[in-house]
Amino acid sequence: MRGCDAIVIKHPTVSGLEHRQTHSLQRCASDSAVSPSPTFSSPFVIDDQTTADAAYRMAREGKALLWRGDFHNARQLLQAMARRVDKRFASPSAQRADRQLPAQSMKETFDQHRLAQGQRAAILNLLLIPFEADYRIPLRRAPDVRQACIEAYGEWHADESSPRWLIPLRELQGIIGAHEWRKKGVPVAALNARIHPHYGVFAPVRGEYVGLVNDAPLPAALNDLSLAFDIGTGTGVLAAVLARRGITRVIATDQNPRALACATDNLTRLGLAGQVTVMPADLFPAGRAPLIVCNPPWVPAQPNSALDEAIFDPDSRMLRGFLTGLSAHLTPGGEGWLVLSDIAEHLGLRTRDELLAMIASAGLTLAGRLDVRPTHRRVSDTSDPLHAARAAEVTSLWRLVVA
């Protein structure tokens, strides 16, 4: 039997064979992050009679499982499989995660945690749900997921030679959850309004970093030119905060098409489309501004999926790019605001001295810093293997000026 560490899934989209017919899931052309999906031959057809133990055993062996029973029973089966996976990966260290660990040990804990999470996803992503035309699910008690799938994948483009499509139930649940978030929005106290995240765009659920941008003193140079850049805008939340603070013109950049569409939608909802320009760019737009804000991914590690890219920044690429390019885009007397958690330092992935060296080598100096401690629920979750790092975390707004 192959262990789950032998299973490699680069993206949860799956194609396979059922009764010798080919299945694939087509993605919208604008989603450049999608890689070719792995192919499984003859997935095992399972239904309401399949036990969780049997399904878990087959998934651990790397076998794709095509569900043909009741949709709600599939959800219960996935939950049962998840409990078995979590029990397998549970360790004594996870039970005592609140103890203080040296940086090297915490890095090892982080690496092991990510490996376990990847293996968990690989196993659970093998439970597949069929699609038919227009994202219809041909199962009993299946929900109508058409709009949610259009938001995630784009309009249905059927290939007549491949009339059916498969998707991991786990991914489908994420798509449905993203659709609900998009409908309801996330409350943002600094705006006294809601931001509506799109599928694949990081949601501003941690409001403390938004509050920092709302509270930091604006540079005096804005009196001469009321212009700000928001680098890596995502949902557009920080651009909206800057506009609401009275900055006449804000240019918000991102290189993710989903983020550009999301930011445009949110700024239109807030009545700020005339004040904020959303444009594609890898970091900076052309020109200079008295205020440039960036909230890069906080953890210098390799993302495992497109959704991870808002959290993980390999070799601190975006952070380094922002710092090295900042002086060339600031007007005299201007400030660059770097919004960054120190979680990487507590995980042993980057030291404070390394961050300070990046700032100094970019020809920048510190004009001031605002700090805030996070309030999300994981801070008090002692069962989290990374609890010691999360409990010590501080998020800061670094006010940087040209030395």
| Tens-place pLDDT, residues 159-215 | 544 446 889 999 999 999 999 999 999 999 999 999 999 999 999 988 889 999 999
What 8-state DSSP symbol labels residue 164? -
| pLDDT at residue 312, rounded to an integer | 85
Task: Find the range with the poorest average confidence among 10-19, 52-61, 190-199, 355-364.
Answer: 10-19
Higher pLDDT, 42 or 168: 168
The residues with which 335 forms a beta bridge, in sequence order, are 291
- Is the pLDDT score of 259 beyond 70? yes
Q: DSSP string covering 59-110, please?
A: HHTT--EEE-S-HHHHHHHHHHHHHHHHHHH--HHHHTTTS---HHHHHHHH
In the listed set 181, 210, 245, which residue is the last one of a domain according to the structure? Answer: 181
Residues 301 and 162 in one domain: no
Residues 208 and 143 in one domain: no
Mean pLDDT confidence for 336-351: 91
Residues 117 and 238 in one domain: no
Q: What are the backbone dihedrals phi and psi of residue 45, each rounded to the nearest 5 degrees, phi first?
A: -85, 120
In the listed set 162, 181, 200, which residue is the last one of a domain according to the structure? Answer: 181
Residues 150 and 259 in one domain: no
Task: Find the range with the poorest average confidence among 203-217, 355-369, 380-394.
Answer: 380-394
Mean pLDDT confidence for 2-19: 30
Residues 172 and 284 in one domain: no
Residues 173 and 317 in one domain: no
Residues 155 and 302 in one domain: no
Residues 152 and 295 in one domain: no
The confidence band for 380, taking pLDDT boundaries of 50, 70 and 90, is low
The confidence band for 18, taking pLDDT boundaries of 50, 70 and 90, is very low
Parent domain of 233: 185-402
| pLDDT at residue 299, rounded to an integer | 84
Residues 171 and 195 in one domain: no
pTM for the model stands at 0.82
Residues 120 and 133 in one domain: yes
329-333: long-range contacts (C-beta < 8 A, 24 or more apart)? 329/229, 329/284, 329/287, 329/288, 329/289, 329/292, 330/288, 330/289, 330/290, 330/292, 330/401, 330/402, 331/221, 331/224, 331/225, 331/288, 331/289, 331/290, 332/221, 333/219, 333/220, 333/221, 333/290, 333/401
d(CA 384, CA 378): 7
Higher pLDDT, 3 or 102: 102
Alpha helical stretches, state H, 245-392: 257-269, 317-326, 343-346, 352-361, 387-392
- Is the pLDDT score of 247 beyond 90? yes
The confidence band for 306, taking pLDDT boundaries of 50, 70 and 90, is low
Per-residue model confidence as pLDDT tens digits over 283-294: 999 999 999 999
Per-residue model confidence as pLDDT tens digits over 73-126: 999 999 999 999 998 877 544 444 444 555 558 888 888 888 888 899 999 999
CATH at residue 285: 3.40.50.150
Closest-CA residue to 24 (of 248, 34, 54): 34
Per-residue model confidence as pLDDT tens digits over 126-163: 999 999 888 999 999 999 999 999 999 898 876 544 44
Mean pLDDT confidence for 325-344: 96
The number of domains in the chain is 2
| pLDDT at residue 210, rounded to an integer | 95
Q: What percent of the chain has pLDDT over 90?
A: 63
